[in-house]
């Protein structure tokens, strides 16, 4: 019974971590007529180290390594 309670507690605490991983932005047309395709990105937060473009990370959708210094 203890194992079941511990497993349930771990599962419930892990849900918010997965819910905030990424977001999709729809494509749109700029004022000059250029169309920008939709794209996936990390959810906005104050942490610069978890962005796909930050050095040490890899974009799972494109396979591109990050290049920006987080500091």
The CA–CA distances, whole Å, from 56 to 3, 23, 46 equal 36, 20, 18
Could you read off the pLDDT of 51-68 as tens digits, one per residue?
A: 888 999 998 888 999 999
Check residue 10 and give its pLDDT. 55
Using alpha carbons, select from 39, 65, 71, 70 the residue that is nearest to residue 52: 65
Could you read off the pLDDT of 8-66 as tens digits, one per residue?
A: 555 555 444 444 467 899 999 999 999 999 998 888 888 888 888 899 999 888 899 99
Check residue 71 and give its pLDDT. 84
Does an H or E element contain 2, and which? helix 2-19
| Cα four-point dihedral sign 29, 30, 35, 39 | negative
């Amino acid at each position: 019974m203890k194992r079941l309670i511990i497993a349930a507690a771990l599962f419930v605490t892990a849900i918010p971590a997965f819910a905030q991983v990424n977001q999709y932005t729809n494509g749109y047309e700029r004022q000059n007529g250029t169309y920008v395709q939709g794209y996936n990105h990390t959810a906005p937060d104050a942490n610069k180290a978890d962005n796909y473009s930050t050095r040490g990370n890899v974009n799972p959708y494109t396979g591109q390594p990050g290049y920006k210094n987080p500091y």
